[in-house]
Amino acid sequence: MRVLVINRWSDDFADYGSYLDHQAHQVAYVTVAGHRPLLPAATAHAEVVADPSDVGEVTAAALRCHLALGGTDVVLALSEFDLLTAARVREQLGVPGADTEAVLRFRDKTVMKQAVAAAGLRVPQFRAIGSAEDAAAFAAAHGGGPVMLKPRTGAASSGCVLLRPGQDARHELAGRDLTGYEAEEFVEGPIWHVDGLLADGELRFGLASRYLNTCFDFGLGTPLGSVVQQGPAAETMLDFALRSLAALGLRTGAFHLEVIEHADGPVFLEVGARVGGGEIPFVCRDVYGVDLVGDWVRLELSEQPRTLPAGETSEGAHGGFLMLPEPVGQRLVERPSLVGVVPGLYAEELPEPGHVFTGHGGYDEILGRFRYRADSPAAVEAAIRATLDRYRCTLEPAVPAQV
């Protein structure tokens, strides 16, 4: 097949040579400069762009790749932020696959909730907004809050604002550009994430996990954990996720879907048509033996997945993770290693002493990333809490105080 890859990564996730046979397929790339060293020698063509978010630049580069390949059969984009661009490239080049309308159901939070609600599944009350006045009107219509404001096409809770009861929206949001935002009611309850792969509408692999804290709170400086669950509650979340995905029209591909466990039943939160971020792909690989990214690529190429299990996930396999946010403006002086100290902790990714936390680390360059394997969800959660108790770092201001 003639495959066009749109890529913005330069780390191990951009090692497409491990996912794609560059001898069996003709592969071209629209990519970033930092990715060049990872390009396989058999790459048919590559175009480097300065800004992968510049749709015009990427589309022009994609056309040059298309001409170099003599046509394109598949357009691949694995990052959340490239899915819409890839859809536009498919439309321009006449390549089969998800078009703009299909992708918007997974990128625009108002569109996705409209589709899920139309299938009879519960979603938070919501409304597209563009100003502080719109937000204030929505909050007033829902008893004064709490109300969550989100960029409609955002990810990882970036740019989200929580309006609490009694807060004056106009005052709290003064000076903030709310173009392209939505407001939604804040639904109480633990948040779950369901991750997996579909092939022709069939669930080939799926895990339901419960967060400890939330992605929103992580952005405010609170640790974020997650524990894979089994049993009736997990089955309920998996079933709800599958019904949501059917309503959204996803039949083949990866998904990361978040659900609120409300007292009255599951409530849809949001979904991405891609592999979940943070430690999710690593836990799936290490604990469950599933290469989410690689098998997603193979499914997109109509190839046989290499790692997907034939049946149900085996009992007794329980994974989880913990991420500690950046202490912004601090320099790391000293930190411990806890592998071999905390039972169930099998891997850690830690910054080196001297690292300065700038606030731009995302889910990668943070105070600590930890992965767990144990024989029960309770044991994984206990290991996470033990890590929080024992991981004591020495920090200092990155810029010395002026005397």
- Which residues lie across from 267 on neighbouring strands? 260
Residue 276: CA atoms inside 13 Å, Cβ hemisphere, count? 26
Clarify whether residues 86 and 172 are in a common domain.
no
pLDDT digits (tens, 9 = 90+) for 332-348: 999 999 999 999 999 99
Token pair of 396 as six digits: 């200092």
Closest CA to 320 of 342, 336, 341: 342
For 241-380, where are the E strands, in sequence order?
253-262, 265-272, 318-324, 330-334, 345-349, 368-374
Task: Tell me, yes or no, whether 119 lies in a domain.
Answer: no
Which of 185, 213, 229 is where one domain is finished?
185
Task: Using 70 as the pLDDT threshold, list the residues of the chain that sit under it.
Answer: 310-316, 400-403
pLDDT digits (tens, 9 = 90+) for 31-74: 999 999 999 999 999 999 999 999 999 999 999 999 999 999 99
Clarify whether residues 168 and 203 are in a common domain.
no
Clarify whether residues 137 and 278 are in a common domain.
no
pLDDT of amino acid 399: 78
- Which residues lie across from 185 on neighbouring strands? 147
Clarify whether residues 285 and 364 are in a common domain.
yes
CA distances from 14 to 33, 156, 275 (A): 12, 20, 13
- Which residues lie across from 70 on neighbouring strands? none
Which of 139, 168, 185 is where one domain is finished?
185
Clarify whether residues 233 and 275 are in a common domain.
yes
Which of 97, 117, 136 is where one domain is finished?
97
Task: Tell me, yes or no, whether 388 lies in a domain.
Answer: yes
CATH number, domain of 222, equals 3.30.470.20
Clarify whether residues 47 and 169 are in a common domain.
no
Overall number of domains in the chain: 3
pLDDT of amino acid 232: 96
pLDDT of amino acid 47: 98
pLDDT of amino acid 83: 96
Clarify whether residues 163 and 255 are in a common domain.
no
Clarify whether residues 160 and 283 are in a common domain.
no
CATH number, domain of 16, equals 3.40.50.20
* C-alpha dihedral (120, 156, 82, 121), degrees to nearest 10: 0
Clarify whether residues 167 and 245 are in a common domain.
no
Task: Tell me, yes or no, whether 260 lies in a domain.
Answer: yes
- Which residues lie across from 265 on neighbouring strands? 262
CATH number, domain of 137, equals 3.30.1490
Clarify whether residues 157 and 298 are in a common domain.
no
Closest CA to 192 of 270, 249, 279: 270
Secondary structure of the chain: what % helix, strand, coil (to 5)? 30, 25, 40
Task: Tell me, yes or no, whether 120 lies in a domain.
Answer: no
Structural domain boundaries enclosing 232: 191-397
Task: Tell me, yes or no, whether 84 lies in a domain.
Answer: yes
pLDDT of amino acid 155: 82
Beta strand 26-31 pairing with 45-48? parallel
Clarify whether residues 146 and 90 are in a common domain.
no
pLDDT of amino acid 360: 86
Task: Tell me, yes or no, whether 244 lies in a domain.
Answer: yes
Task: Tell me, yes or no, whether 254 lies in a domain.
Answer: yes
**For 356, which DSSP code?**
B
* CB-CB contact of 371 with 283 (8 Å): yes
Clarify whether residues 168 and 212 are in a common domain.
no
Task: Tell me, yes or no, whether 42 lies in a domain.
Answer: yes
